């Protein structure tokens, strides 16, 4: 009886890395698209009757989540930077 083993682990890892890079790139494109729509006046066009009500609501929902994630990201980075910078007159070992 002969057992044949295939060494496909490197190929699987390579495919997983490629999928990860693709998902990151597509996520970046989606964020760019949502940001562009939020900063444009796309969700204000319903008064003109050019966009459907459902599309307008979905754009508004995406914009709310986009701006909240943007705020949280900026807030997190600010806190992270502030925690690394020693302020004059403060004891770094206060706790």
Structure confidence by residue, pLDDT tens digits, 23-65: 555 555 555 556 566 666 654 555 555 566 776 677 777 777 7
Higher pLDDT, 60 or 22: 60
- What is the radius of gyration, based on Cα positions, of the chain? 24
CB atoms under 10 Å from CB of 66, counted, come to 18
Q: Which residue, 93, 28, 92, is CA-closest to 66?
A: 28
Q: Where are the domains of the chain?
A: 20-83
**Could you tell me which residues come within 8 angstroms of residue 67 by beta carbon, excluding any fewer than 6 positions away?**
38
Residue with tokens 């083993």: 5
**Could you tell me which residues come within 8 angstroms of residue 52 by beta carbon, excluding any fewer than 6 positions away?**
46
| pTM exceeds 0.75, yes or no | no
């Amino acid at each position: 009886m002969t057992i044949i083993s295939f060494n496909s682990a490197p190929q699987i890892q390579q495919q997983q890395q490629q999928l990860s890079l693709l998902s990151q790139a597509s996520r970046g494109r989606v964020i760019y698209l949502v940001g562009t729509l939020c900063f444009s006046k796309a969700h204000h066009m319903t008064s003109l009757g050019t966009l459907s009500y459902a599309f307008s609501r979905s754009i508004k929902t995406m914009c709310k989540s986009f701006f909240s994630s943007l705020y949280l990201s900026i807030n997190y980075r600010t806190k992270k930077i502030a925690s690394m910078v020693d302020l004059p007159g403060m004891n770094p070992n206060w706790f």
